[in-house]
Amino acid sequence: MKKILVTGSSGYLGTVLTAYLEKSGFDCIGYDTGFFRDCLLYEAAAAKTVMRDAREVEAKDLTGIDAVVQLAGISNDPFGNLDAARVYDPTRVYAFKIAKLCKEKGVKFIFASSCSVYGVGKGELLDEDSATLPQTPYSLNKLQVEQDLQTIADKDFSPIALRFATAFGLSPRLRFDLVTNMLTGMAFTTGKIVLNSDGTPWRPNVHVLDICKSIKYAIDSNHRGGMLVLNVGDDKDNLQVIDIARRVQACLPSCELKFLKENPELDKEGLVSDRKVKQGVDTRTYKVSFEKVKKVFPGFKCDWSVESGIKDMVEKFKSIQLTEAQFKNKNFYRLQKLEQLYQNHSLSDDLRWTKPAGQ
């Protein structure tokens, strides 16, 4: 039985991934610093979890490990009085450190990257050889980690960087700051869909379980001979934000479509507004090709569409009777949750706990 170490195991994706890998026959252990440990919308499957910052991973932690899946990182804008370098540089450092430890120990390294590294397209389908133009510190950080991995990749160490499309779908630690999840939760609990842009930007989308599936394929892959970069998603789920909204409306036909620029009063909590969207304009727009992953991982395909993911979420929201108060709870918005922890002095400037996790 292969033993897999997942860093960032108690986040939106990690919570689903650890359960998925266990069901797939792997022995899975998770490391997590605990920022979102208590941010549960519903009960999560039991998972072997060590409460440890990824910065503290040592060579001895990799004893007996067959593969490391590097999810740990910051997934939102800088906040408080912290600049981007203060927030993201440590992520780059510890990802590279863990990768080098994997190389020394002969452990496979799988990095959770992002299609957002492409940043701005001109309507064409961008593939793994296309130019990158990251628009945010988060996207730049993902690209920098990839570049670092390239420097140590060789015939004996072949890290795999999976550039995930924008995630959607259910998780016990749900994120409502992801576009499809947000629009679905908003429509279900408020009867409205409020877009923070004009809805025209293009986004590739991928279900969280299809992300997990691609990671399993990466773990099982026999790839050798340098670094492998793969986009993960499905061409049919390259959608404009307005099209995602219309798919939500098709599932919840009584909901109204509104635009934040024209109706700022609809976001009193500041959960819909995005600091990267200025005057209703979002410069991030790109469509992505997902042909290579199907060729490199024979048999891989995405099982979920945006439509099926929306329907699945609506059924779950009905079963748990999701309320507007739950939808607007900061626990389900990564930036707002981290800001809350920082402002109440639970986190230091270098994003370490000043008090035990969960207090």
Per-residue pLDDT at 285: 87
What are the tokens at 283?
């410069």
Q: Are 236 and 291 in contact (CB under 8 A)?
A: no
Domain range for 226 is: 3-241+272-343
Asked whether residue 353 is domain-assigned, the answer is: no
Alpha-carbon distance of 183 to 190, in angstroms, equals 10
Per-residue pLDDT at 284: 78
Asked whether residue 229 is domain-assigned, the answer is: yes
Asked whether residue 309 is domain-assigned, the answer is: yes
Q: Are 230 and 160 in contact (CB under 8 A)?
A: yes
Asked whether residue 252 is domain-assigned, the answer is: no
Q: What is the mean pLDDT of each run of 10 residues along the chain (359 residues)?
A: 97 98 97 95 94 95 98 80 84 96 98 95 92 92 97 97 98 97 97 88 96 98 95 97 96 90 71 58 85 97 98 98 97 92 90 74
Single pTM value for the model: 0.94
Asked whether residue 257 is domain-assigned, the answer is: no
Alpha-carbon distance of 54 to 347, in angstroms, equals 15
Asked whether residue 267 is domain-assigned, the answer is: no
Structural element, H or E, at residue 241: helix 241-251
CATH of the domain at 81: 3.40.50.720
The SS3 call for residue 84 is helix
Asked whether residue 255 is domain-assigned, the answer is: no
Instruction: Tell me how far CA of residue 66 lies from CA of 6, 103, 110, 290, 297, in angstroms.
Output: 11, 12, 11, 27, 19
* Residue of 301, 306, 299 whose CA lies nearest to 290: 301
Alpha-carbon distance of 179 to 198, in angstroms, equals 14
Asked whether residue 350 is domain-assigned, the answer is: no
Domain count of the chain?
A: 1
Alpha-carbon distance of 305 to 314, in angstroms, equals 14
- Which pLDDT tens digit goes with each residue over 325-353? 999 999 999 988 999 999 999 999 888 99
Alpha-carbon distance of 11 to 13, in angstroms, equals 6
- Which pLDDT tens digit goes with each residue over 106-119? 999 999 999 999 99
